Amino acid sequence: MIPKIKNCFSRSSPKRLWMLLVCVILSMTMFPGCQTSRDSSPPTLRVGVALYTQDDTFIATVSQNLERMAQDTEKEKNLKINLSIADGQSNQTVQMDQVDRFLSRGCDVLCVNIVDRTAAAVLIDKAREAQVPLIFFNREPVANDIQRWEQVYYVGAQAEESGTLQGQLVADAWLADQERWDRNGDGILQYVMLEGEPSHQDALLRSEYAIKALVEAEIEAERLASGTANWNRGQAAAKMSQWLSELNGQIEVVFSNNDDMALGAIDAIEEAGGDSPLVVGVDATAPALEAVKQGKLYGTVKNDAEGISRAMLDLILALTGGTDPSEVVELEDGHYVWLPYRPVTKNNLSEFLEGYVA
Ligand code: BGC
Ligand code: CA
């Protein structure tokens, strides 16, 4: 073989040059690992992304944004970013296997939307042993776990803030038009509360801080019912139907820890017919913005899905490119990236619809 190639070089007729070219191309496609460092193929980043479930509107939005932004970055930076996305099916054992697989195949960074927040320590120790930086997002492990290793990060938003903003939104509506919302005219705001998963930081804190904001606005409130619908539209519709029939016209406000459940409540209200109470959610997902536009959802609080994806990608690039993460994102305590929430009603809706330019 070698003398033949030498021959190709020594007697360079056009036909022989063509043969040489074919030989080179063939050997490059058959043995890609043998390409020299002078070839132009871009470096590849391998990123494992473990979602608690793919069947969640907000999480699906974060993951789609991440894919889109990674594709844009590939073009801009002559990089290849291999995102492997795994659906944890709300099962920590399933997710742990997925993480083990990512680590054993050799990924460069791990992004985890953990199913069970109390399982974080085990996961962190696995990542540390493999020396693979770990970015948690949206479901926050306790601070003690985050501090187990300096290469652990959390990207999310502060739940208290969303609760406060949601409560303020309701307080403003109530004070602006109490006659409309105070159905029984007793001066007291009667409400129901649809809660997310009981173990999720966002569920507990949103419920608590929404009501604190009413107290601060000096609005007297009475809780008629509360219960979990696990962030889920169908479960929320079922719960709301039950409350509508049990509470017979007494509900004046529906607080929901997220938009999917608020939309579930609206499904039940529409099914039952009659006047709608004031309904509020959190997230500002696409279907929720549509419901605000139609006047079915009074308002919501934007949970910055794009901001979360952007910060994760910036961290991924910094961690794999040898840049100090604090140069690309605002890091609190060396571990946390916090995205701000923003209230949304019909009044400022246009700022949140696609194509809006500030
Ligand atoms: C969102 C919910 C979502 C949950 C999943 C929350 O921050 O508001 O819509 O279901 O995260 O972890
Ligand atoms: Ca009342």
Q: What is the reported pLDDT for 200?
A: 95
Closest by alpha carbon to 300, among 345, 234, 251?
A: 345
List C-alpha distances in Å: 145 to 16, 187, 313, 328. Answer: 65, 46, 22, 24
Q: Is the CB of 58 under 6 A from ligand 1?
A: yes
pLDDT confidence of 14, banded at 50, 70, 90? low
The tokens 């709301």 sit on which residue?
240
Is 80 exceeded by the pLDDT of residue 221?
yes
Q: What is the reported pLDDT for 27?
A: 43
User: Ligand 1 centre and the CA of 289: distance in Å?
Assistant: 16
11 vs 231, higher pLDDT? 231
pLDDT confidence of 19, banded at 50, 70, 90? low
Find all residues with CB under 8 Å of 198, minimum gap 6, and list them. 204, 228
The pTM of the whole model exceeds 0.75: yes
Find the ligand nearest to 190 CA. 2
> What are the DSSP calls for 68-125, one per residue?
HHHHHHHHHHT-EEEEEEEE-TT-HHHHHHHHHHHHHHT-SEEEE--SSGGGHHHHHH
Q: What is the reported pLDDT for 15?
A: 56
Q: Which range is least confidently modeled, 22-26, 45-49, 146-150?
A: 22-26
Find the ligand nearest to 305 CA. 1
User: Ligand 2 centre and the CA of 216: distance in Å?
Assistant: 18
Q: Is the CB of 252 under 6 A from ligand 1?
A: no
Any alpha helices (H) in the chain, and if so which ranges?
Answer: 2-10, 14-30, 57-77, 92-105, 120-130, 143-146, 159-176, 178-181, 201-216, 233-247, 259-272, 286-293, 305-321
Strand order in the sheet with 278-280: 221-228, 189-195, 253-256, 278-280, 299-302, 342-345
Instruction: State the chain's mean pLDDT as an integer.
Output: 91
Read off the pLDDT of residues 122-131 as tens digits, 9 standing for 90 and up.
Answer: 999 999 999 9
Find the ligand nearest to 205 CA. 1
The alpha carbon of residue 91 and the mean position of all alpha carbons in its chain are separated, in whole angstroms, by 18
Q: Is the CB of 258 under 6 A from ligand 1?
A: yes
List C-alpha distances in Å: 347 to 113, 189, 210. Answer: 33, 23, 21
- DSSP SS3 for 312: helix
Q: Is the CB of 158 under 6 A from ligand 1?
A: no
User: Ligand 1 centre and the CA of 58: distance in Å?
Assistant: 6
Write out the H or E segment, with its range, that includes residue 279: strand 278-280
Q: What is the reported pLDDT for 40?
A: 67
| Maximum C-alpha span of the chain | 101
Closest by alpha carbon to 251, among 231, 272, 230, 229?
A: 272
pLDDT confidence of 352, banded at 50, 70, 90? very high
Q: Is the CB of 285 under 6 A from ligand 1?
A: no
Across 325-330, average pLDDT: 97
For ligand 1, atom 11, the nearest C-alpha belongs to 138
User: Ligand 2 centre and the CA of 224: distance in Å?
Assistant: 11
User: Ligand 2 centre and the CA of 51: distance in Å?
Assistant: 41
Q: What is the reported pLDDT for 355?
A: 58
Read off the pLDDT of residues 35-83 as tens digits, 9 standing for 90 and up.
Answer: 334 556 789 999 999 999 999 999 999 999 999 999 999 999 989 999 9
* Pocket perturbation via mutation, ligand 1, pick of 231, 235, 304 by most ligand atoms within 8 A of CB: 231
For ligand 1, atom 3, the nearest C-alpha belongs to 58
Across 90-105, average pLDDT: 98
Find the ligand nearest to 181 CA. 2
User: Ligand 1 centre and the CA of 158: distance in Å?
Assistant: 12
- What is the number of the ligand 1 atom nearest to the C-alpha of 282? 8
CB 133 within 8 A of CB 153: yes
Is 70 exceeded by the pLDDT of residue 308?
yes
User: Ligand 2 centre and the CA of 188: distance in Å?
Assistant: 4
